[in-house]
């Protein structure tokens, strides 16, 4: 089955429970959506940061907060939870290299949801390009990042251009992206810039919303 590949917006926010604290994950999602960001990934790392019940409730609350608006949600890692919301703003599941294999995740989420996969080198990009289950490819980290406890090796802007030459699938750049460098990431060939730290910092909804609006403005001016 050939699924329609999602067309990513220029900014793809990652609402990270740890980075947003003490702001609840669902409130961070709401603030980001109100700023105009149309794709928002819900992420709760490290594993165990939230119990399964608490994460389920935060996803449920986030769906309610954005329902009826243009924002669409992605779930990080948790295929089981993504599959539990069949009629919702959730449109995709994002996997890392150490998460479930895409084929296994697809058996859980079915064909309704798009599937994104993080890649960190040329071989991984080529494999993702050939994988029929993968709809979107993320590359990075482009710049140094504190969004992971043990970040992968920085790949740089040139790798975005290289990856663009390998795949026609939607390409998302991630890692250390800010208002100052987002234009360079998009110019290098990324369809979208995924941003965590530059949006989630601040600890309150108004500041998170301002951060998201600033990233959008910088991307639109690129």
Is the CB of residue 125 less than 8 Å from the CB of residue 137?
A: yes
pLDDT tens for each residue of 100-144: 999 999 999 999 999 999 999 999 999 999 999 999 999 999 998
Under 8 Å CB-to-CB from 57, ≥6 apart: which residues?
Answer: none
46 pLDDT band, cuts 50/70/90, is confident
Closest Cα to residue 113, out of 85, 139, 150, 141?
85
- Please report the pLDDT score of residue 145 as a whole number: 77
Is the CB of residue 77 less than 8 Å from the CB of residue 98?
A: no
**Cα end-to-end distance, the chain, whole Å:** 36
Please, what are the domains in the chain? Answer: 11-221 (3.20.20.70)
pLDDT tens for each residue of 128-140: 999 999 999 999 9
147 pLDDT band, cuts 50/70/90, is low
Is the CB of residue 177 less than 8 Å from the CB of residue 142?
A: yes
pTM: 0.94
Parallel, antiparallel or unpaired: strands 72-76 and 114-119: unpaired
């Amino acid at each position: 089955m050939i699924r329609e590949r999602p067309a990513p917006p220029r900014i793809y926010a990652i609402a990270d429970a740890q980075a947003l604290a003490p702001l609840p994950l669902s409130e961070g999602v709401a603030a980001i959506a109100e700023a105009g960001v149309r794709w928002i990934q819900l992420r709760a790392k490290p594993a165990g940061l939230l119990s399964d019940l608490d994460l389920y409730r935060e996803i449920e609350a986030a769906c309610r907060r954005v329902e009826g608006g243009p924002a669409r949600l992605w779930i990080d890692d948790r295929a089981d939870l993504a599959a539990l919301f069949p009629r919702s703003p959730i449109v995709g599941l994002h996997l890392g290299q150490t998460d479930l294999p895409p084929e296994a995740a697809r058996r859980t989420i079915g064909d309704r949801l798009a599937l994104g996969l993080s890649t960190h080198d040329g071989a991984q990009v080529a494999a993702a390009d050939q994988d029929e289950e993968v709809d979107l490819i993320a590359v990075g980290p482009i710049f140094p990042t504190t969004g992971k406890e043990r970040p992968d090796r920085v790949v740089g802007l040139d790798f975005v251009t290289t990856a663009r030459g390998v795949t026609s699938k939607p390409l998302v750049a991630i890692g250390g992206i800010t208002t100052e460098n987002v234009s360079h990431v998009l110019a290098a060939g990324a369809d979208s810039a995924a941003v965590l730290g530059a949006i989630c910092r601040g600890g309150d909804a108004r500041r998170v919303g301002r951060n998201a609006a600033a990233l959008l403005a910088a991307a639109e001016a690129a």
